[in-house]
Structure formats: C-alpha cells, structure tokens
Amino acid sequence: MTETTLSSTEAPAKHVQKYTRNQPYLSKTLVNTKLTGPESEKETIHIELELEEGMSYLPGDAVGIIPTNREPQVESVLKALGYTGDERVLDHYKVEISFLEAITSRLAIGKLTRSAVNQLGKLAGDAAPAGLKALLGPDNKALAEEYVWGREFYDLITEFPGLIKTPQDCFQVLARLTPRMYSIASALEAHPGQVHTTVRVVRYHSHNMDRQGVCSGFMGERMPVGTLVPIFLHENNNFRLPADTDAPVIMVGPGTGIAPFRSYLEYRQIMGHKGDNWLFFGEQRSVSDYLYKDQFQAMEQDGFLTRLSTAFSRDQQRKVYVQDRMREHADDVFAWLESGAYVYVCGDAERMAKDVERTLLDIIALGANNTLEYANEYLAAMKKAKRYQLDVY
C-alpha cells in the first residue's frame, strides 16, 4: 500500500523488517562521496547502500549503521592494558571470542562516559586511587562530566593503570558498541534497492590527541565503495508525511537535518503528490556547504519545490539562520499554516529546534494578531493533529 491510498485516519503500512540491530544485513557500499567543498569547515558525506530484495522503508525512517572501532585506537588500548588481543573472553551473549574482536566490534572504547568511570571505580573497590574516587558517585557528577569530555577509554586506563586485571573486566566497565541511527535521505521508489544517508564526519582535537566520531569516522574513512557494512532499517512513525497528499508541507532542515527532506521531496515528486512544498535549508557557506544544491534547485525550477529558502550564516557579516528566513517570510509562513500546512523540523535539538519553535510562536502570534499564549495553544493543536513533527538529536 502506498501513502497515496491512505485515508487521513489510516496508519502507514507496517513494514516488517527481517533484519535488526542484533541480526543486521551485510550491505555493500555503493557510493561514498563528499558533499562539502574544499573551502568548508565541515566534512559532510553522502552514502548509498545496497538493500536486499524485500527490505523497505518509508520517508522519515532511519538506517542503523554498526561501526567498528579504529585500528590505532584498538592497538593503543591493547598496549595500555598489556594484552595481545588473542586472549579469550565471553561477549554479551556468552559467546567466546578473542579480546581483539571484543575491543574492535563489541565494546565502546570511544567517547568516555561517566558510567565507565563509575564502573572502573566499582571494579577497583578499595584499590581505587584518590584521583578516581574524586570522580565517583552522584555527588561528583559535575567533576566527572568535565573529566570525560573529549576523552576516551584509552585516557582512563592510562591515567588509572593496573585496575583492569583481566580482559573480561572490560565488559564490566564498558558499554556495548551500539549502532548509530541516521535519517534516511532517499525515497525507495526513486532508488529501488538502495538506502541513502547524509553524514557529518566528526573530527576534533582534545587532550593532545586527534579524535573522531566512532561511526561518522568509520563511514568517512573506512567505508569505501565495495565495503560490506552491517545495517538495519528502523521505523520512525513519529515523523511521517501527511496522509492527505494535497496538504502543503514546510520543512526546516539545516546541515545534515536536510536528509529526511530529500527523502520527503523525492517521494512526493515520484508519487505525484499535489501539495505545495517549502524547504528551509541552512549551512555556513553557499559555495562549499550547499548540500544537494543541484537537485533542490532543479526541483524548484520545474515548479515541484514551491519555495526554497536558504540561509548561509557565513556569507555575510551578520549571521543568518533558518529561523531568520522564517521571520522574513512570516506572513507567508502563517498563511501556509492557516491553509493546513504540516511543519517538519530536523537537526540540532539543543539550539536550532528551540529557536525555530520560538520563531514559529512569534509568527503565529503576529499573524493572528494575538498573544503568545494563543500561539502556544495553536502550536499544541498542530502537534496533536501531527501537523508539527520533530526529528531532533
């Protein structure tokens, strides 16, 4: 069943997935290309992965990628602990594997957590040094948060050596290496047998070491075309296109938050949906950070993408963001809302999503010539009707 046949009261067709995080599909990397230009301060990549026949997804869904830890990082941990990697351990399912495999693909040796610090303290017991004890427990939460920032497991075991007595102890201290979820950036109908995603490769320098995001670094450095990668598809029924295909849609997706809206637009275009589409996209510089520029501009030129509003914060002296563009078009945004538009926001939860929501409230209050209290009620009603949906992280 396609969404074009749904009534407003029906839910999307249930996609039963054969593969899961515990039983992933080994997918082949078809495309791994850089979207950002040489002038960019960011490294954003476009990934295309092959799907087995029968694997399916809807716009708004996510793809789970199961990474491995970097080889130099693994070697550093083995060296710091004094093990070869040939030692035998039992994994989370009590299956015997080598310690090298455990450190490579089972345990989270990347970004350090307070939990790992506390577990090391628990493991050490009375033998815990004063410096470690000072980081333990709820009373020392603030100090521990400050300590773990920008550090990895390697930093912990070199600062507090000798507390891990056996390779198996690492399973008590460290969390599992978990899959990372990425918004799907394609419509299956436009790319049969494929799933696409958009990833910002995280790199940073802290505590005198170059570091990178566990999964984004894996995808950016160790996933060339032809690589087999364990993946699974994940439903997100809280981020769905309107069942009414004539409904207008406003999409706000700065940075990699653009991913699901590429999927939305491809789907609505190929399925012949008649509703108007308005995309707000923001990044730093138009010359180097305009993700999927040619595709979106072509959609705008042929009239399918009704409006395309971009905000490139570094292209002028005063920084301009997506919420600024929304304010500039406040009358039109409110007119779209009054005509039944659905609003979707994807991206940074901490700042962007809050700023966009505040802007929406101001636009509603101004457009209705009413109070912020009224605007809050208006937006609450939109949320209840699923006309205001967020996919933020």
Which pLDDT tens digit goes with each residue over 222-263?
Answer: 999 999 999 999 999 999 999 999 999 999 999 999 999 999
Q: Are residues 125 and 192 in the same domain?
A: no
The pair of structure tokens assigned to 249 is 């849609």
Question: How many residues are listed for the chain in this entry?
Answer: 393
SS3 153: helix
Within-domain flag for 244: no
Q: Are residues 334 and 190 in the same domain?
A: no
Q: Are residues 169 and 113 in the same domain?
A: yes
Within-domain flag for 10: no
Within-domain flag for 342: yes
Q: Are residues 255 and 284 in the same domain?
A: yes
Which pLDDT tens digit goes with each residue over 97-115?
Answer: 999 999 999 999 999 999 9
Which of the four pLDDT bands, split at 50, 70 and 90, describes residue 23?
Answer: very high
Q: Are residues 59 and 85 in the same domain?
A: no
Q: What percent of the chain has pLDDT over 70?
A: 96
Q: Are residues 197 and 218 in the same domain?
A: yes
84: CATH: 1.20.990.10
211: CATH: 2.40.30.10
Within-domain flag for 104: yes
Q: Are residues 113 and 227 in the same domain?
A: no
Return the pLDDT at 12.
42
297: CATH: 3.40.50.80
Within-domain flag for 331: yes
| DSSP assigned state of 193 | T
Do 11 and 237 touch, CB atoms closer than 8 A? yes
Q: Are residues 45 and 191 in the same domain?
A: yes
Alpha-helix residue ranges (DSSP H) falling in 21-103: 71-81, 99-101
Total domains, the chain: 3
Return the pLDDT at 16.
59
Neighbouring-strand partners of residue 293? none
Could you tell me the CA-to-CA distances from 324 to 320, 345, 347 in Å, in that order? 6, 15, 16
Distance CA 250, CA 105 (A): 40
Which of the four pLDDT bands, split at 50, 70 and 90, describes residue 15?
Answer: low
Distance CA 297, CA 309 (A): 11
Q: Which of 195, 210, 234 is the last residue of a domain?
A: 234
Could you tell me the CA-to-CA distances from 21 to 24, 63, 178, 306 in Å, in that order? 5, 10, 9, 38
Distance CA 244, CA 251 (A): 16
Return the pLDDT at 17.
75
Cβ neighbors of 274 (< 8 A, separation 6 or more) are 245, 246
Within-domain flag for 281: yes
Q: Are residues 256 and 227 in the same domain?
A: no
Q: Which of 173, 198, 221 is the last residue of a domain?
A: 173
Which pLDDT tens digit goes with each residue over 185-224?
Answer: 999 999 999 999 999 999 999 999 999 999 999 999 999 9
Cβ neighbors of 97 (< 8 A, separation 6 or more) are 88, 89, 90, 91, 106
Q: Are residues 76 and 48 in the same domain?
A: no
Q: What is the dihedral of CA 166, 140, 153, 107, to 10 degrees?
A: 70
Q: Are residues 277 and 320 in the same domain?
A: yes
Distance CA 292, CA 305 (A): 13
Range of the domain at 228: 17-65+179-234
Distance CA 230, CA 87 (A): 25
284-308 average pLDDT score? 98
| DSSP assigned state of 7 | -
Helix (H) or strand (E) holding 65: strand 62-65
Q: Are residues 188 and 53 in the same domain?
A: yes
